[in-house]
């Protein structure tokens, strides 16, 4: 790959689609700031003391307008930042341009190839000779994964001289990861271990990334402390739920302009993301059918008047299919063959393995007609009917629209800032071991509180007497840890 890093006049590195879109990006950044009261409050509260002075932060997180406000909050608090997207389609090029020009090193554009994607991730982690970042802001865990795989390979190589073998895996993307590491090993056989040494910790944004972290914690392979931001209530019960309720129909409309009312929609998975998607589709006038493995979530769907069936029951009847499971192999090519002409198939889960894109691409005689970028019609030879796949099976709300709106991302990202501050503050205290942590409830409540004023809300105050009666402090936190909201 012959990608070249470019430099701003001030010497900061970047690689974006078109730096001339920076002005447009700045205008939208200005609008977004008004919608992100939590981040702006962080700037006001922490900006003066520059708590991130000296900290290098690498982010791997959709390079959108909202993320741009996050990045500029980190820099406003003193950090130096390098950034890449965590999805090949999720970058908003004008956002990347504005940040590249004004604030941080950015390596991201909409429509990266997988090779380019991992090149960008490498660049974001590459802080030059002095090792890697102090902190990582991760979404889905790809930056974390690269370091862990790198360290593993270096240790093996040191012991046995064995290099990673891309041919050892079927997974096309993991082949690229192994190639990168292999090639890097030749130049610097301790690069990832140096990174690991320097790293204070990671804060992880999403369900899928968190799942990976807990697996590593369970296996004892986690190399540095991690804060699970996803499971802050003000993240998972807001971003995942209300964000998707907003951005799923947005993506459907921008990609297909199809009328949702009157259609039959299948939502695979009824977690927070699935709940948001199902609510949006139902409210838009679709008849929604849920597929679930978990009887509790299934019963919740039923209580909302949704039908719970298996994909097989409805595959030939439904008009719209959305995967939200965080699992793999949900909609296979055999399902797709049975669908109605022009059925829409899309995924809003983090990874692109919910829909069997490989099976589709390899289906004998299948024809792909690109209506417009991220909207493809795939025609089966037997029936000459086709299905419409959005964003090549990747996150459709970021691929086909602009992701979640600013206000709800302000909740998520305020958690990120708080998590990063916490990791950095405690970098030498030993408070955080190589484990996964969630933020304490009083910080969660604080994030929420920062977002009430913008919406004109007024909180009731507990009297001391009332607080004692329910055994909580007057100023909170107000709920036990196990409370589900």
Angle 176-179-183 from CA coordinates, rounded to 5°: 145
Complex with a copy of itself: residue 428 or 463, whichever CB lies closer: 463
Alpha carbons 273 and 403: distance in angstroms, whole number: 13
Pick from 309, 358, 434, 435 the residue near a copy of itself by CB under 8 A.
309
When asked if residue 293 is in the footprint of a copy of itself (CB under 8 A), the reply is yes
CB of 11 to a copy of itself, least distance (A): 30
Asked if 205 is an active-site residue, the reply is: yes
Annotated binding-site residue? 305: no
Q: Is 415 helix (H, G, I), strand (E, B) or coil?
A: helix
Distance CA 435, CA 59 (A): 20
Q: How far is CA 171 from CA 115, 288, 360, 418, in A?
A: 13, 33, 15, 36
Cα–Cα separations (whole angstroms), residue 46 to 42, 207, 408, 421, 424: 6, 28, 21, 10, 13
Site membership for a copy of itself, residue 148 (CB under 8 A): no
Task: Name which position in 390, 408, 417, 421 contacts a copy of itself (CB under 8 A).
Answer: 408
Spatial contact of 264 and 320, defined as CB atoms under 8 Å apart: yes
Asked if 254 is part of the footprint of a copy of itself (rule: CB under 8 A), the reply reads yes
Determine the Cα–Cα distance for residues 335 and 333; give it in Å rounded to an integer.
5
The residue annotated as part of the active site, out of 60, 228, 230, 415, is 230
Rule CB under 8 A: which of 150-169 touch a copy of itself? Answer: none
Query: Using the rule CB under 8 A, which residue among 93, 205, 352, 444 binds a copy of itself?
Result: 444
Find the catalytic residue in 21, 60, 90, 353.
Answer: 90
| Nearest residue (CB) to a copy of itself, 233 versus 421 | 233
Instruction: Say if residues 50 and 77 touch (Cβ distance below 8 Å).
Output: yes
Identify residues 44-103 at the interface with a copy of itself (CB under 8 A). 65
Is 91 marked as binding a ligand? no
Beta pairing partners, 379:
367, 386
Q: Taking CB under 8 A as the criterion, which residues in 350-369 touch a copy of itself?
A: 369
Active site (annotated) includes residue 235: yes
Region of 4-12, 136-144, 244-252, 418-426 interacting with a copy of itself (CB under 8 A): 244-252
Distance CA 414, CA 409 (A): 8
Per the annotation, does 276 bind a ligand?
yes
Bond into 477 cis (ω within 30): yes
Angle at 320 between CA 314 and CA 322, to 5 degrees: 95
Please state, in angstroms and rounded to a whole number, the distance separating the CA atoms of residues 7 and 105: 9
Nearer to a copy of itself, 120 or 297 (CB): 297
Catalytic residue list contains 170: no
Among 28, 72, 126, 154, binds a copy of itself (CB under 8 A): 28
Burial (CB count within 10 angstroms: exposed 0-12, middle 13-18, buried 19+), residue 287: middle
* Candidates 133-141, 156-164, 188-196, 247-255; binding stretch for a copy of itself (CB under 8 A): 247-255
- For position 109 contacting a copy of itself by CB under 8 A, the verdict is no
Does residue 170 touch a copy of itself according to CB under 8 A?
Answer: no
**Binding region for a copy of itself (CB under 8 A) out of 170-178, 186-194, 196-204, 287-295:** 287-295
In degrees, rounded to 5, the angle at the alpha carbon of residue 248 between the alpha carbons of residues 245 and 251 is 145
Q: What is the CA angle 165-328-255, rounded to 5? A: 110
Q: Does 449 bind a copy of itself (CB under 8 A)?
A: yes
- Which span (44-52, 125-133, 191-199, 250-258) binds a copy of itself, by CB under 8 A? 250-258
The DSSP call for residue 363 is S
Choosing from 60, 92, 412, 420, which is the catalytic residue? 412
Q: Is 404 an annotated catalytic residue?
A: yes
Is 87 noted as a catalytic residue in this protein?
no
CB-CB contact of 191 with 215 (8 Å): no
CB of 38 to a copy of itself, least distance (A): 11
Hey, what are 166's tokens? 């891309």
Token pair for 336: 């797709």
Residue 234 found at the interface with a copy of itself (CB under 8 A): yes
The whole-angstrom separation of Cα 229 and Cα 234 is 9
CB of 179 to a copy of itself, least distance (A): 24
For a copy of itself, which residue of 40, 143, 213, 438 counts as binding (CB under 8 A)? Answer: 438
Instruction: Report the residue number, 115 or 317, with the smaller CB distance to a copy of itself.
Output: 317
Q: Is 388 annotated as a binding residue?
A: no
Question: Least Å distance between CB 85 and a copy of itself?
Answer: 17
Q: Which residues are identified as catalytic? A: 62, 85, 90, 139, 205, 230, 235, 239-240, 244, 350, 404, 412, 416
């Amino acid at each position: 790959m012959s990608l070249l890093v470019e430099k701003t006049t001030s010497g900061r590195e970047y690689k974006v689609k078109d730096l001339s879109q920076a002005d447009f990006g700045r205008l939208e950044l200005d609008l977004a700031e008004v919608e992100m009261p939590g981040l702006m409050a962080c700037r006001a509260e922490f900006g003066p003391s520059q708590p991130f002075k000296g900290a290098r932060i690498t982010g791997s997180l959709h390079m959108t307008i909202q993320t741009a406000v996050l990045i500029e909050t980190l820099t406003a608090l003193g950090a130096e930042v390098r950034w890449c997207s965590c999805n090949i389609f999720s970058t908003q090029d004008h956002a990347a341009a504005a940040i590249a020009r004004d604030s941080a090193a950015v390596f991201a554009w909409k429509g990266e190839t997988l090779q380019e994607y991992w090149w960008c991730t490498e660049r974001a982690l590459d802080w030059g000779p002095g090792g890697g970042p102090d902190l990582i802001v991760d979404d889905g865990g790809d930056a974390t994964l690269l370091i862990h795989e790198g360290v593993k390979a270096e240790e093996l190589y040191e012991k046995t001289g064995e290099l990673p073998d891309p041919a050892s895996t079927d997974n096309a993307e993991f082949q690229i990861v192994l190639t990168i590491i292999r090639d890097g090993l030749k130049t610097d056989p301790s690069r990832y271990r140096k990174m690991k040494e320097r790293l204070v910790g990671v804060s992880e944004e999403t369900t899928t990334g968190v799942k990976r972290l807990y697996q590593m914690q369970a296996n004892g392979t986690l190399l540095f402390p991690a804060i699970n931001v996803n499971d802050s209530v003000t993240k998972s019960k807001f971003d995942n739920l209300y964000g998707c309720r907003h951005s799923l129909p947005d993506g459907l409309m921008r990609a297909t302009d199809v009328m949702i009312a009157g259609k039959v929609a299948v939502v695979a998975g009824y977690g927070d993301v699935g709940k948001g998607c199902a609510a949006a589709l139902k409210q838009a006038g679709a008849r929604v059918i849920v597929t679930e493995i978990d009887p509790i979530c299934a019963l919740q769907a039923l209580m909302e008047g949704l039908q719970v069936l298996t994909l097989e029951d409805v595959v030939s009847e439904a008009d719209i299919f959305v995967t939200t499971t965080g699992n793999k192999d949900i909609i296979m090519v055999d399902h797709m063959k049975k669908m109605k002409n022009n059925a829409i198939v899309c995924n809003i889960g983090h990874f692109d393995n919910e829909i069997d894109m490989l099976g589709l691409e390899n289906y004998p005689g299948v024809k792909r007609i690109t209506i417009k970028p991220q909207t493809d019609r795939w025609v089966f030879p037997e029936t000459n009917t086709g299905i419409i796949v959005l964003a090549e099976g990747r996150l459709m709300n970021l691929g086909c629209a602009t992701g979640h709106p600013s206000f709800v991302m302000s909740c998520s990202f305020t958690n990120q800032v708080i998590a990063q501050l916490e990791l950095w503050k405690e970098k030498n205290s030993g408070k955080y071991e190589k484990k996964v942590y969630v933020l304490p409830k009083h910080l969660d409540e604080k994030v929420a509180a920062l977002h009430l004023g913008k919406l004109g809300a007024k909180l009731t105050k507990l009297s001391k007497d009332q607080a004692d009666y329910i055994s909580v402090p007057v100023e909170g936190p107000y709920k036990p840890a196990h409370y589900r909201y």
